A and B are shown apart, each in its own frame.
Chain A
Amino acid sequence: MAKPIELEINGKRYPVNYPADTPLLYVLRDELGLTGSKYGCGEGQCGACTVLIGGMPRRSCQIPVSAAATKPITTIEGLEKDGRLNPVQQAFLDAGAFQCAYCTSGMIMSSVGLLQTNPNPSQAEIVQFLQGNVCRCGTHPRVIEAVRQAAKTMQEHGR
Chain B
Amino acid sequence: MSNAEGKLFIEPERYEFSAAPFHQFELARRDFFKILGAGIAVFAIAKDALAAQETAPGPRAFHNEELPKDISAWLHVGEDGSVTGFTGKAEIGQNIRTALAQTIADELHVPFESVRMVTADTALTPFDAGTFGSRTTPTITPQLRRVAAAARDLLVEAAAKEWNVAPAGLVAADAKVTDPASGRSLKYAELARGKTLAQNLPAEDPITPATQWTIAGKAIPKVDARAFVTGKHQYTTDLRPAGLLYGRVLHPPSFGATLTSCDDSAAKAMSGVVIVRDGDFVGVAAPSAHVAQRALDAIHAQWKEVPQISSKEIFSYLKQNAAAKSEDRFRKQKGSVEEGFAGAAHRLDATYTVAYIAHAPLEPRAAVAQWADGKLTVWTGTQRPFANRDELAEVFHLPESSVRVIVPDTGSAYGGKHTSDAALEAARLARAAGRPVKVVWTREEEFTWAYFRPAGVIEVKSGIASDGALTAWEFHNYHSGMSGSETPYDVANQRTEYHQVPLILRSGSYRGLAATANHFARETHMDALANTAKMDPLEFRMKNLSNARMLAVLEAAAKSFGWPRKKTQEGQGFGIACGDEKGSYVATCAEIAVDKTSRAVRVVRLVEAFECGAIVNPDGLRNQVVGAMIQGLGGALFEAVEFENGHIKNPHFASYRVPRFRDVPEIETILLDRKDIPSAGAGETPIMAVAPAIGNAIFDATGVRLNNLPMVPNGLRSA
Contacts and interface: CB of A to CB of B under 8 A. Distances in A.
Interface of A: 18-19, 22-23, 26, 29-31, 33-43, 45-46, 48, 75-77, 79-80, 85, 89-90, 92-93, 96, 98-105, 108, 126-128, 130-144
Contacts of A105: 231
Interface string B328-361: 0000000000000000000000000000000111
B627 interface: yes
B631 A138 contact: yes
A53 to B, nearest CB: 17
Given A26-B290, A93-B225, A137 B412 contact: yes
Given A39-B364, A99-B94, A144 B654 contact: no
Contacts of B414: 136
Nearest to A79: B230
Interface of B: 92-95, 221-222, 225-226, 228-235, 237-238, 240, 246, 288-290, 359-364, 409-412, 414, 440, 442-443, 619, 623-624, 626-631, 652-654, 658-662, 664, 667
A43 B624 contact: no
B363 A102 contact: yes
A99 B230 contact: no
A102 B630 contact: no
A102 B231 contact: no
Contacts of B667: 141
Contacts of B664: 127, 138, 140-141
Nearest to B631: A138
Contacts of B360: 136
A41 B240 contact: no
A99 B362 contact: no
A22 B221 contact: no
SS class, residues of chain B in contact with chain A: loop
A135 B661 CA distance: 9
Nearest to A140: B664
A33 B240 contact: yes
A45 B226 CA distance: 26
A5 to B, nearest CB: 14
Nearest to B658: A134
Contacts of B658: 134, 136
24 contacts: A30-B288, A37-B231, A38-B362, A43-B652, A43-B653, A43-B654, A45-B654, A46-B443, A85-B230, A98-B225, A99-B94, A100-B361, A101-B233, A102-B362, A104-B228, A131-B660, A133-B661, A134-B362, A134-B653, A135-B362, A136-B359, A136-B360, A136-B362, A138-B631
Nearest to B229: A89
Contacts of B234: 35
A29 B228 contact: no
Contacts of A96: 221-222, 225, 619, 623
A128 B222 CA distance: 28
Contacts of B411: 38, 100-102
Contacts of B409: 100
A102 B412 contact: yes
Nearest to B447: A41
A24 to B, nearest CB: 11
Contacts of A76: 230-231
Q: Can you list the 10 inter-chain pairs with the closest CB atoms, starting with the nearest?
A: A36-B231, A100-B93, A138-B630, A102-B411, A138-B627, A76-B231, A45-B653, A101-B228, A35-B238, A100-B412
Contacts of B225: 93, 96, 98
Contact of A98 (B228, B290, B624): B228
B288 A22 contact: yes
Contacts of B222: 96, 98
Given A138-B629, A141-B626, A99 B412 contact: yes
A136 B442 contact: no
B628 A38 contact: no
B638 to A, nearest CB: 14
A110 to B, nearest CB: 11
Given A18-B290, A45-B652, A134-B653, A40 B626 contact: no
Contacts of A143: 661
A142 B219 CA distance: 15
A137 B683 CA distance: 11
Contacts of A127: 661-662, 664
Chain B CB within 10 Å — which of A29, A37, A41, A77 has the most?
A: A41
A68 to B, nearest CB: 14
A134 B362 CA distance: 8
A34 to B, nearest CB: 8
B196 to A, nearest CB: 37
Given A36-B230, A38-B362, A76-B230, 11 more contacts: A18-B288, A30-B246, A42-B442, A46-B443, A98-B228, A102-B411, A104-B228, A104-B229, A127-B661, A136-B360, A141-B626
A90 B228 CA distance: 11
A22 B362 contact: no
A41 B289 CA distance: 14
Contact of B628 (A22, A34, A104, A138): A138
Given A92-B229, A134-B658, A135-B362, A101 B237 contact: no
A140 B233 contact: no
B231 A100 contact: no
A36 B290 contact: no
B237 A93 contact: no
A140 B246 contact: no
A101 B659 contact: no
Nearest to B362: A102
Nearest to A99: B93
B288 A41 contact: no
A22 B288 CA distance: 10
A42 B226 CA distance: 26
A127 B289 CA distance: 33
A102 B653 contact: no
Nearest to B219: A96
A37 B33 CA distance: 38
Nearest to B656: A45
Contacts of A41: 443, 652-653
Contacts of A93: 221, 225-226, 229
A41 B442 CA distance: 7
Contacts of A23: 290
Contacts of B660: 131-132, 134
Contacts of A35: 231, 234, 237-238, 240
A38 B237 contact: yes
Contacts of A102: 93, 235, 361-363, 411-412
Nearest to B359: A136
A128 B630 CA distance: 17
B627 A99 contact: yes
B221 A139 contact: no
A101 to B, nearest CB: 4
A20 to B, nearest CB: 11
B236 to A, nearest CB: 11
